[in-house]
Structures are given as structure tokens and as C-alpha cells.
Amino acid sequence: MIFALFFIVAGANHFLNPDLYLKIMPPYLPWHYALVLISGAAEVALGVLLLVPRLQQLAAWGSVALLIAVFPANIHMAMHPEMYPDIPVFALWLRLPLQALLVYWALLYTRR
């Protein structure tokens, strides 16, 4: 349930604070604003579906896929800290293992 709420809150934040996510979008991706909204909607939807027992496994696999899909952006941020001067360098690198932990957490829901 905590993981589901995390996803719902994180996804809603894409709509409440889109500028935060626009600032961290890698330049090689197109349609930054649309991708922020799409990823936010996906996070909210997957979080809600994680709360539905018979859809939990499917939502968990979707969560894994989404977390893997955004991982290259996290790598880009860590490799180009000069593009993100407002974020401490250690935080950029810390995001990488934290992302792996989130994937592991989502994988736990695939077994239920």
C-alpha cells in the first residue's frame, strides 16, 4: 500500500509541479511537457491499480517497466551534473541505486 501511495503522490506531483520535471528532462527526449504529463498519469494509474488485488501483479509489472523507462534519464542527470546545478551531485548519483530499490520493491508485488 505504501508503494501504491508513493506512486500516486509522485504522479500527481507531475501535474502540480510540472516545472520540476521539465527541468530534469534530458535534452535528447522530445515533447518534454507531454512526457511529464504522460509519465505522471501513468504513475497515478499504476498506483491506483496496485490497490486493486486482482490487478496488482499487472500494475507491478507496469511499474517496473516505467521505472526502467525513466532510468536512462537518471543516468543522464548523473553524467551531466552541470545541467542540474540546483541538485547536489551526490543526490544525482544517489538516484541510481534508489531507482534500483524501487524496481525491487515493485517486483515484490509481482509475486503476490
Can you give the pLDDT of all 112 residues of the chain as single tens digits? 899 999 999 999 999 999 988 888 888 889 999 999 999 999 999 999 999 999 999 999 999 999 999 998 899 989 999 988 888 999 999 999 999 999 999 999 998 6
User: Cβ neighbours of residue 17 under 8 Å, at least 6 residues apart?
Assistant: none
The pLDDT score that the predictor gives to residue 23 is 84
Angstrom CA distances, 15 to 37, 70, 79, 82, stand at 7, 17, 27, 26
Chain centre to alpha carbon of residue 37: 12
> The pTM is what?
0.86
